[in-house]
Amino acid sequence: MDVNLEIPELAVDFDYNDRIEYSLLETNRSLALLDKKNYLSKYLPKIYGNFNYGYNNATGLSSDLFGNDWYNFGTVGATISIPLFEGFAKKTKIQQAKIKIEQLDYQKSFLQKNIDIEIDQQKISLESNLKILEVQRQNQELAANIFRITKIKFQEGIGSNLELTNADNEYKAAQTNYLATLYKSILSKIDLLKATGTLYNTKS
């Protein structure tokens, strides 16, 4: 059975953003920063500009459209709006945004530590199961050889039926133990890939 149970490289060097819950915290933090920036911008002065340009014949009569001289004119203006005291609403919103950012930073840090612990635990579990799997593989090979030799002895009349039955049972038990440990090892790798957020990553 060809199953790749090696420790994935992504378990050593991975991106926290591959974990959906961490990625959501990052997104929420970015939104909170935008909210804070938006609230702060309301304290900035605003400048509004205007520009007009045209022609005038100084008489106001349309009949003089081609008779009198026309003069061009233009005006440029600007208005500056400076926010004055508007209560504490904006200040409160800015403070709330700051608190939310701090909370999200704490949640990110807490989640990072939990992810690190989870990955370490799953790596240890997989490594342990792989060691046991190797022992079970060797036991299975040994039991297979014993059964093969016992069967030959029985066929040649120098072995008993009881010996053959015992050897067969030992071989089947070794196979069962190997497959059970293989199954546990596969589950351990799946758990490790889940911990790194790369279960469906084709690179892993």
For 1-46, the pLDDT digits (tens) are: 556 666 655 555 678 888 899 999 999 999 999 888 887 776 655 6
Judge if 70 and 142 occupy the same domain.
Answer: no
pLDDT tier, 78 (very low <50, low <70, confident <90, very high otherwise): low
54: closest CA among 68, 72, 42?
A: 72
Let me know if residue 63 belongs to a domain: yes
CB 75 within 8 Å of CB 52: yes
Last residue of a domain, one of 82, 105, 130: 82
- Whether residue 138 is predicted with pLDDT greater than 80 in this model: the reply is yes
Domain boundary among 26, 59, 82: 82
For residues 176 and 77, give the distance between their C-alpha atoms in angstroms, rounded to a whole number. Answer: 89
Same domain, 96 and 192: yes
Q: Are residues 50 and 121 in the same domain?
A: no
Given this model, what pLDDT does residue 198 score?
A: 82
- Residue 123 included in any domain: yes
Shared-domain flag, residues 68 and 108: no
Residue 57 lies in a domain: yes
CATH of the domain at 168: 1.20.1600.10
Residues 32 and 69 placed together within one structural domain of the fold:
no
What are the φ and ψ backbone dihedral angles of 201, each rounded to 5 degrees?
Answer: -85, 120
What are the tens digits of pLDDT across the range 81-98? 555 555 567 778 888 889
How many Å apart are CA 191 and CA 125, to the nearest integer? 9
Buried b (16+ CB within 10 A) or exposed e, 86-120: eeeeeeebbeebeebbeebeeebeeeeeebeebbe
In a shared domain, residues 38 and 49: no
Look at the chain and report how many structural domains it folds into. 2
Within-domain flag for 2: no
Q: Is 134 a residue whose pLDDT tops 90?
A: yes
Q: Which residues of 126-140 are buried (b: 16+ CB within 10 A; e: fewer)?
A: beebbebbeebeebb
My answer on whether 154 and 75 are in the same domain is: no
In this structure, which amino acid lies at residue 67?
G
Round to whole Å and give the CA distance between 64 and 39. 55
State the residue range of the domain holding 51: 45-82
The residue among 82, 105, 129 that closes a domain is 82
Tokens of 194: 């889940």
Stretch 111-119: mean pLDDT: 93
- The answer on 51 and 152 residing in a single domain is no
Q: Evaluate if pTM is beyond 0.85.
A: no
Please give the single-letter amino acid code of residue 65. Answer: L
Q: The tokens of 176 are what?
A: 């069962």
Stretch among 69-73, 90-94, 147-151 having the lowest mean pLDDT:
69-73
